[in-house]
Amino acid sequence: MSLAFLVPLFLLGLAGIVVPILVHLTRRQRRNVVTFPSLMFLERIPFQEQRRRRIQHWLLLALRSLALALLALAFARPFLDRSDLSLGAASGPREIVVLLDQSYSMEIGDQFTRALDEAREIFADLGPLDRASLVVFGQGARVVARSTGDRLRLNTALDTLSISSSSTSFGPALKVAQTVLEESELPVGEVYLLSDFQRIGWAGDEGVYLPAGAKVISIKLSEDPPDNIQVTDVDLIRQAVSGRERITPTARIARNGGLDAREVDVSLELDGQEIQTRTVTLEANGAASVAFQPFTVSQPHTRGSIRIPTDELTADDVMNFVVSPGTALSLLVIDGSGGSTDASLYLRRALEISDDGRFRLTHRRTNNVRAEDLDGTDAVIINDARIDGASAERLRNFVQAGGGLLVVLGEKAGWPASAQDLLPGAAGEPQDRLQGRGGRLGHLEYGHPVFEPFSGPRSGDFTGARFFRTRNFVLSDSASVLARFDDGSVAFAEQTYGLGTVLVWTSTLDSFWNDLALQPVYLPFIHRVSEYIGGRTEALPWFTTGQVLDLGDPAALASAGLVSAESAELSDDRDQVALTPSGQSIDLSSDDGPRYLALDESGFYTIRPPRSSPERPFVVAVNVELEESDLTTLDPEELVAQVTSSEPNPDAAAGFVQATALQMEDQERRQALWRWILIAAFGLLAAETLMSNWVSRRTAAATLTTT
């Protein structure tokens, strides 16, 4: 620490001390002029100036000299230079970014507490010109404090942090650090990464490149991975027994680590009450399945949990789900076949094969559709029937109001021209495909909900079906193609009409024109088509943290396990409140636009109107992302090498000169010694004035006495 001056040129003012010295060393004796009436008799005597070479008023001289010296020092802006103590390095002020991992794996041991302590030590070492940012991250990243030198603000922000239910991803956090350093004007950039460094958090292709010269300091908080047991999956098998729906849960339990076999108690809870307990033996790094006895679902939004005893990583020791009694989808099949021919035999048999009774089927052999046939019906299948104009108009109103329609164009199919706009195109004459052992399906739109379940390997093969006869079909402008034959002709088309959906299949659904009904994919295909036109969305028993639920979308609510009537009620009611698993209340009220609920915590979210307590509120189950349970660690140096550059910062030298100037100005501004020096100078000048007046009066009195 040394004394320095911000404007040393003003020190030249110290030369002004010579002025009072000269004043005190030189003293002129004034002549007293006496007027006489006549000077003729007086002798002319020359006046001699008397110089006194001795200083008589030393104290007055000292006050004047010291006051002038203090004025010069004040304008030179002095300060105590503490650069060597505050910065600890000659590289200049630093832009520091602290990235703190708050994923749920940080709950192991005291990792999160140690991370907070490390962050506090980093903030305690900030210099007067250093700036720090605090960023917490899991699957995403959140800036808690941005580019501030306020240690109190940074430490207060640390006190508000807690472990989240998210998994680890280093990419978003490092992207934030990259942005902060690129926008900073300080010459030195440092990134502190506080984490347990799980391998799953870094893929290596995140595209993060910190500015040249930036330094990454990794602080690894994890130790040897513990013996971790987790609930990895729950399968809920529904069956209809004696008109009642029963669910059989089967859980899969996995173990990572360990040495010897362990017995683990696995319990099933419903609405917070433990119903059953099973014991399973797990080998080291092994897994096992646990089957529970079936239970009857009688109430909507029944909360369920599969739970094991807690270990060091508690977030994966439970898997939550929500189940409600299923509702059968009402289907009407219109079959225009006559005599002993049953064109809907395969179709009806496929819909009747369902353990959970998801379809309620009505079959009529006729060419007309009555109004009473459509009451309480979710979807209609016109299977090779010649529909008249009145029936087509009833179907138009039915679809426009939200119903679903599937038209199968077989041998006897016919559609009135007055309702042609209801279909996704116009049907032509039958076309034979006898050569080459028949045609085949050449293209399927696997992104569509009908074909999505068949997109994976060994999930269903449509190419084995042979088509010997099809209908020519000309698409309308508003239609889309879901499947084509190998010659490019349309096999399956869709059109949205009003609130409903219309599908057209250009062959039959029996074994007359093709052998699709004899293929293994026929039954799941018919089920998917019927569910799609009926508006049935596959209900998800749980969601994972990080997902977002749109409470204004009935389809999204149906996927959350809410039945259609309740979904419509919830989507229409704009005044809703969500209670998070931690007990916080989220206001979901909205006059217009979507209402999104971010599922950031594991557990059960309850959705209800404000200031109400319904007996069976809407409930959404949320579980953690199980990838985080893989505690395999990453070498921090591997990550650091991929995001940093070994090239020096070309602006470092110029930045250092500028930073030194900024550092001196900042220290002088913080100390403000010139104010106190200036006050002292004015005090001395005031004292000098008083003393000089006193000396003058005393000298005058002495002169009068002598005279």
Domain ranges of the chain: 2-81+672-706, 85-225+633-661, 228-323, 329-533, 543-627
User: Does residue 102 register a pLDDT over 60?
Assistant: yes
Which helix (H) or strand (E) segment holds residue 15: the answer is none
654 vs 503 pLDDT, higher one: 503
pLDDT value for 169 = 94
Instruction: Give the per-residue SS3 of 533-598.
Output: HCCCCCCCCCEECCCEEECCCHHHHHHCCCCHHHHHHHHHCCCCEEECCCCCEEECCCCCCCCEEE
224 vs 195 pLDDT, higher one: 195
Of 514, 558, 515, nearest in space to 538 by CA? 558
CA distance 674 to 665: 13
Cβ–Cβ < 8 Å for 502, 493: no
Residue 44 has, within 13 A of its CA and on its CB side, a CA count of 2
530 vs 610 pLDDT, higher one: 530
DSSP letter string over 250-283? EEEEEEES-SS-EEEEEEEEETTEEEEEEEEEE-
CA distance 367 to 385: 6
User: Does residue 648 register a pLDDT over 60?
Assistant: no
pLDDT value for 527 = 92
Q: How confident is the model at residue 563 (pLDDT cuts 50, 70, 90)?
A: very low
Instruction: Give the per-residue SS3 of 506-530.
Output: CCCCCCCCECHHHCCCHHHHHHHHH
pLDDT value for 412 = 87
Per-residue pLDDT tens for 104-146? 999 999 999 999 999 999 999 998 889 999 999 999 999 999 9
In Å, how far are 403, 475, 491 from 482, measured between CA atoms? Answer: 20, 12, 8
Q: How confident is the model at residue 475 (pLDDT cuts 50, 70, 90)?
A: very high
Angle at 296 between CA 295 and CA 298, to 5 degrees: 145
Overall average pLDDT of the 660-675 stretch: 67
CA distance 195 to 115: 7
Q: How confident is the model at residue 81 (pLDDT cuts 50, 70, 90)?
A: low
Per-residue pLDDT tens for 299-337? 888 999 999 999 999 999 999 999 888 777 889 999 876
| 588's tokens | 């979901």
Per-residue pLDDT tens for 257-298? 888 999 999 999 999 999 999 999 999 999 999 999 999 888
Is residue 309 packed enough to be buried (19+ CB in 10 Å), middle (13-18) or exposed (0-12)? exposed
CA distance 323 to 542: 9
CA distance 188 to 580: 42
Residues 6+ positions from 538 with CB-CB distance below 8 Å: 531, 559
Q: Range with the lowest mean pLDDT among 185-199, 348-362, 379-393?
A: 348-362
Q: Range with the lowest mean pLDDT among 215-224, 511-520, 654-663?
A: 654-663
Could you tell me whether strands 94-101 and 131-137 are parallel, antiparallel, or unpaired per DSSP bridges?
A: parallel
Phi, then psi, of 620 in degrees rounded to 5: -125, 125
pLDDT value for 455 = 87
Cβ–Cβ < 8 Å for 11, 76: yes
228-323 CATH fold: Immunoglobulin-like (2.60.40)
Q: Range with the lowest mean pLDDT among 10-14, 56-60, 210-214, 703-707?
A: 703-707
User: Does residue 614 register a pLDDT over 90?
Assistant: no
CA distance 394 to 139: 51
Per-residue pLDDT tens for 43-71? 665 555 444 556 666 777 777 778 777 77
Q: How confident is the model at residue 3 (pLDDT cuts 50, 70, 90)?
A: confident
Torsion of CA 591, 596, 599, 604, to 10 degrees: 50
CATH number of 85-225+633-661: 3.40.50.410
pLDDT value for 87 = 43
pLDDT value for 38 = 59
Overall average pLDDT of the 239-244 stretch: 71
Is residue 187 packed enough to be buried (19+ CB in 10 Å), middle (13-18) or exposed (0-12)? buried
Q: Does domain 329-533 have CATH number 3.40.50.880?
A: yes
Residues across the chain: 707
223 vs 584 pLDDT, higher one: 584
pLDDT value for 405 = 95
How high does pLDDT run on average in the chain?
83
Of 270, 183, 167, nearest in space to 626 by CA? 167
Residue with tokens 């987790």: 230
Taking each continuous run of H as one helix and of E as one strand, the counts in the chain are: 15, 32
Phi, then psi, of 669 in degrees rounded to 5: -65, -40
Overall average pLDDT of the 583-606 stretch: 82
pLDDT value for 605 = 94
H-type helices in 81-231, by residue range?
Answer: 83-86, 111-124, 151-159, 170-183
pTM over 0.75: no
pLDDT value for 326 = 73
User: Does residue 573 register a pLDDT over 60?
Assistant: no
436 vs 315 pLDDT, higher one: 315
Of 82, 77, 71, nearest in space to 6 by CA? 77
Fold match, 85-225+633-661 / 329-533: yes
